[in-house]
Amino acid sequence: MIMDKQENKYDLFNLRGKSAIITGGGSGIGMQAVMAFARAGCRITIADIRSPEKVCLQIERKYGVEALPLEMDITIEDNVTKMIKSTLEKFEDIDILVNNVGGAIISDTLRTTLSDWHRIMDLNVTSMFLCCRAAGRHMIDKKYGKIINIASVYGLRGTDPRNYIPEENISAGNSRESLSFTSSKAAVINLTRDLAVNWARYNITVNSISPGAFITGTTKKIMDDHCIKKITERIPMGRWGGEDDLKGSFIFLASDASKYITGHDLVVDGGWTAWC
């Protein structure tokens, strides 16, 4: 009898047979979600602007799960409609949506163009709105759904320019900022809360994850030695996040283990935002 209770406890994290859409799942943080869900037995649609076919083949061979690769730009409404339709044709259901697509333009605010601003807002916020709205129609009809939006610790705090450029070199017109990124990620957090409040009646949970500093292909390209050193000094755990450090959070928020949690922003940052 004790063994049965133990086994039932771990069933809370079971995703076997579930169907998930992961945007931007071909690399970086999205790849962590793909690998975590695949290992848990979840069927997965990966929508990415770069071909996700290799990733789909990898998880099919390694974990024996079905995967659907969709190469597309999800800031375009027609593509999002196609993503939902293709997923339903393949898997007949959508249980989980992970909105991971996003990006940043690092520049001085005074040099940021209006087109750059709109580009990041469309990528980081509009794409999530389109995906939530499209998947939400199906989830509302079946009275069940799990939505996870990727935000950032920069949606919770202002950025310190000294992390990115030596203090003596900072001046108006010479800094490394991303006002569009921080503003968009704050919008993601409140988009999450508002959807959570409105869709709770349909048994849909909507939560966000705010990662701190994580090593990805993108961060490797834009972070120099100064930046890596300064940010590491700000993290109580003394290191950047690695390729396994978000997997548990994804499983938790996508499974029944979190069925009474909605409208929450889960910060995964090694303690960075815990400093006073």
H-helix segments, 42-76? 53-63
The whole-number pLDDT of residue 1 equals: 38
Using DSSP's 3-state secondary structure scheme, residue 210 falls into: strand
Choose which CATH entry (3.40.50.720, 3.10.20.30, 3.40.50.300, 3.30.70.260) describes domain 16-269. Answer: 3.40.50.720
Rounded to whole angstroms, the Cα distance separating 152 from 245 reads 15
Ordered per-residue pLDDT tens for the chain, 276 residues: 344 455 555 689 999 999 999 999 999 999 999 999 999 999 999 999 999 999 999 999 999 999 999 999 999 999 999 999 999 999 999 999 999 999 988 878 888 899 999 999 999 999 999 999 999 999 999 999 999 999 999 999 988 878 877 777 777 666 666 889 999 999 999 999 999 999 999 999 999 999 999 988 777 766 788 888 999 999 999 999 999 999 999 999 999 999 999 999 999 999 999 986
Q: What is the pLDDT of residue 75?
A: 96
Q: Identify the pLDDT of residue 8.
A: 59
What are 206-257's pLDDT values in tens digits?
A: 999 999 999 887 777 667 888 889 999 999 999 999 999 999 999 999 999 9
Q: Which pLDDT score is estimated for 173?
A: 64
* 59: its two tokens: 């998880």
Position 3 scores a pLDDT of 44
CB atoms within 10 A of CB 270: 21
Question: The tokens of 48 are what?
Answer: 């990415």
| CA atoms in the 13 A half-sphere facing the CB of 103 | 20
Tell me what pLDDT residue 10 has.
63
Q: Is residue 20 within 8 Å of 43, Cβ to Cβ?
A: yes
Token pair in block for residue 213? 């500093």
Contact 52, 33 (CB under 8 A): no
pTM score: 0.93
The pLDDT value recorded for residue 6 is 52
Task: Give the type of residue at 185.
Answer: K
Query: Could you give the CA distance from residue 271 to residue 237 in angstroms, rounded to a whole number?
Result: 7
Q: Is the dihedral of CA 239, 242, 244, 246 positive or negative?
A: positive
